[in-house]
Structure 1
Amino acid sequence: MSQQPASASELAGFNPHFLTTTIDLPTANAEISEDLVQLDGSPIIDYTHFSLTLSRSRKLARWVGWNIDGSRMQLLSRTGINFTKDPRIPAEDQAGNDLYADNRLDRGHLARRADLTWGPDTEAAQANKDSFYFTNITPQMEDFNQSRQAGIWGRLENALYEDVELDDLRCSVFAGPVLQDEDQHYRGYQLPVEYWKIILFEQAGRLTARAFLLTQELDRLQALMALDEFRVYQVTVTEIEERTGLVFPDSVHAADDLVLPQSSSRSPLSETSEIAW
C-alpha cells in the first residue's frame, strides 16, 4: 500500500505558538519567492509536527521547521517505511529515487526523524512516516558524511537537551540546505554542500536563538575554492539570511543575542561542549 499523508485537517505542521514566544515561519526574499512550489495557493507545506517550503527549480526544501516535545518523545522503528514522493505535490517538483539510485549519495533527513516522533501513538506514528517524504530529504555527499565534524551536526539538538534546562522540555528548529548557483550538477540536479540550522528554546520564559552552519569555509569566497573537510560553525541568524535569501521574523532576531567575532577569526566547533548556548 502506498504511503499517504494524513488529511489536511490532521496535518498541524509547525506550530508558531509551541513556545511561549510566538515564532512565525520564515519568508523568502523577492529573488526566490517565485521559485517556491504552491500547495492550495500557499508555499507552506504542512506535515505532522513540521512544515517546509520547496524550491521548484532545485526540487529540494528551502527550509524545514519543526517542533520538538522532549517530554512526550517515543522511540519508533523505521521498519517498513519507504522514502516516497508527496502525492499532493507534482512529482516533477520533487527530487526522488532517480537522484539516489546506484550511487553513494545518502538520503539525509532535514527534520530529524527522532525529533518528530512525539505525542500520542497515532500522531507519533504519522510523524514517523511523514519524515520520509522526499520533500524532507536532501542528498548528502560522501565527503559530507565522512567529515569528522559531521557528527557534531547530527548531535546539535541532543546537545541542547543535555546542556540546557529547557522550559517544558520544548524547542523549535529551522534548518535547510544552502542552495547556491555554483552547486555541482548531477543527474539533472544540483547538490548542495552547505547546510544551516537555527535552534530556538526558552529558559525562564526567555527565548534564545542559536544558529549554525555546516560548511567547508565560513568565508563564502574561500568556500568556492575549498577542498577541505566540512566544519560546523556557530553563526548569526543574519548570516543565515544572507546565505539563503530567507527572512526570519523579528522574534528570532531578537533572540539571537550571541556576540560573535568576525568570520575571518572564528573557529569551527570541534566538540559540542564548545557551543555557546
Structure 2
Amino acid sequence: MGYDPDFLAAPVDPPRAHVTGDLLDYTHFSLELDPGRRLAAWVAWNVDGDRLHPGESIPRSGTRFRADPRVPEDHQTLDPVYADNRLDRGHVARRADLLWGPLDEALRANSDSFFFPNITPQMDDFNQERLGGSWGMLEAAILSEDGLRPRRLSLFGGPVLADDDPPYRDLVRIPREHWKVVVYRLDGALRFRCFLLTQQVDPGLRGAVGYLDEFDTWALPLTDLEARTGLVFPGLTGASGDDVGDARATADRPVDAMPAPGPLLVRNARDVEW
C-alpha cells in the first residue's frame, strides 16, 4: 500500500516540501497535499514494468473523480474548478503506470488514481495529448533499456506551485509547469533523470517562464528542479543524475556541438542519455 521507498532494492525516499501537508497513501502511490494550494506538493509512485496490465484491459469509464474523505474538502481542488471551461482533471501519477500486480490490486490502483489529491488542473490540449505522450514516451524508453532488470521505476512528480501562478475562480491558482523525476537501476547502478513541462494557461495570463516554451519538455539538473519547486530530494543522494548536459552525442548532435550542463530540450526520447 502506498509508495515503496525500497522498490529499487535501495532506499529512495520521496521529496520533502517546505510546507507540511497531508500525507496520503494509495495503492502503489503516496502524496503530500499542500493545503494552502489545494494541490499535491509531490506524488511518489512505483511502476513494475514486468507486471503491468495493458491500460485498455482495465477501463477508466465509470470511474469518477472524487474527494478523498480522509482530508477536509477545502484542502482539495474539486469539481467547481473544472466546470464549463477547458481545464481537464489531469492525473499526476499516471493511471497507466499504476495498473500492475494481481488484478484486484491493479483495479484498486485504477480507482485510487481518480482521487482529487492526485489531480491537477491542466489545459485540455496539454493533458490529452502532450502530457501523457511526453511522459509516457520517456518512461517507455527507460523500460526498454537492456540493462534495466528487473524492469522497475520509482517516480516523483507534481505541479510546480509557484507564487505567481494565475488565480482562478477564487478557488485555486493554476500551475503553469509540471515536473517529474524518473529513478531506476541500470546495469546495477541507481540513476535518475529530472524533467519539466509547461502549459500555457490562458493568453491573458502568460507571464515569463524562462527557457520554457509552450508544451516543451526539458531535462534539467536536480539543482535546477529543486530551485524551481522548492522541494528537497534526499532519496537521490548518491544516485547518478546531474550529467544532463554531458554524454548526449547522437547522430544529429556530435560531441563537439553539445551544450554545457544545463536544461536540455527533449524532442525525442533518444535525446536523453539514460
Q: If the TM-score is normalised by the length of the shorter chain, which range does it land in? A: 0.7 to 0.9
**2:174 is equivalent to residue 191 of structure 1:** yes
> What CA distance in whole angstroms lies between the structure 1 residues aligned with 2:136 and 2:166?
23
Could you tell me which amino acid in structure 2 is paired with residue 276 of structure 1? E
1:149 and 1:270 in contact (8 A); partners too:
no
Distance apart, 1:205 and its partner CA: 2.2
**Corresponding residue for residue 84 of structure 1:** 66
The verdict on how the C-alpha distance between 1:112 and 1:150 changes in structure 2, with shifts beyond 3 A counting, is: closer
Please, which moves more after superposition, 163-172 or 182-191?
163-172
Listed as ranges, the matches of 1:74-223 within 5 Å are: 74-75=53-54, 76-142=58-124, 144-145=126-127, 151-188=133-170, 189-215=172-198, 222-223=208-209
Among 266, 270, 274, the alignment partner of 1:273 is 270
**Corresponding residue for residue 222 of structure 2:** 237
> What CA distance in whole angstroms lies between the structure 1 residues aligned with 2:264 and 2:59?
37
**Corresponding residue for residue 24 of structure 1:** 13
Which structure 1 residue ranges, 5 or more long, are not aligned? 1-11, 38-43
Could you tell me which amino acid in structure 2 is paired with residue 229 of structure 1? E
The verdict on how the C-alpha distance between 1:177 and 1:164 changes in structure 2, with shifts beyond 3 A counting, is: farther
> What CA distance in whole angstroms lies between the structure 2 residues aligned with 1:199 and 1:45?
21
> What CA distance in whole angstroms lies between the structure 2 residues aligned with 1:225 and 1:236?
14
> What CA distance in whole angstroms lies between the structure 1 residues aligned with 2:60 and 2:132?
22
Q: SS in structure 2 opposite 1:223?
A: coil
**2:26 is equivalent to residue 47 of structure 1:** yes
1:20 and 1:205 in contact (8 A); partners too:
no
**2:43 is equivalent to residue 64 of structure 1:** yes
Q: SS in structure 1 opposite 2:239?
A: helix
Could you tell me which amino acid in structure 2 is paired with residue 240 of structure 1? L
1:173 and 1:200 in contact (8 A); partners too:
yes
> What CA distance in whole angstroms lies between the structure 2 residues aligned with 1:70 and 1:272?
18
Cα deviation 1:119-171 (Å, max 9, x = unaligned): 11111110010000011000112463488687323422122213453121111
> What CA distance in whole angstroms lies between the structure 1 residues aligned with 2:176 and 2:15?
21
Could you tell me which amino acid in structure 1 is paired with residue 209 of structure 2? A
Could you tell me which amino acid in structure 2 is paired with residue 202 of structure 1? R
2:147 and 2:187 in contact (8 A); partners too:
no
Q: SS in structure 2 opposite 1:45?
A: strand
**Corresponding residue for residue 41 of structure 1:** none
> What CA distance in whole angstroms lies between the structure 1 residues aligned with 2:210 and 2:44?
28
The verdict on how the C-alpha distance between 1:230 and 1:180 changes in structure 2, with shifts beyond 3 A counting, is: same
1:64 and 1:176 in contact (8 A); partners too:
yes
Cα deviation 1:241-276 (Å, max 9, x = unaligned): 11111111154453324242354xx44111122112
Cα deviation 1:211-250 (Å, max 9, x = unaligned): 1111379xxx941797x42211111122111111111115
**2:231 is equivalent to residue 246 of structure 1:** yes
The verdict on how the C-alpha distance between 1:159 and 1:84 changes in structure 2, with shifts beyond 3 A counting, is: same
The verdict on how the C-alpha distance between 1:47 and 1:138 changes in structure 2, with shifts beyond 3 A counting, is: same
Could you tell me which amino acid in structure 1 is paired with residue 59 of structure 2? S
2:15 and 2:235 in contact (8 A); partners too:
no
The verdict on how the C-alpha distance between 1:250 and 1:103 changes in structure 2, with shifts beyond 3 A counting, is: closer
Provide the aligned C-alpha RMSD in A: 2.4
The percentage of aligned residue pairs carrying the same residue is 47
Please, what TM-score do these two structures have when normalized by structure 2?
0.83
Please, what TM-score do these two structures have when normalized by structure 1?
0.83
> What CA distance in whole angstroms lies between the structure 1 residues aligned with 2:130 and 2:15?
31
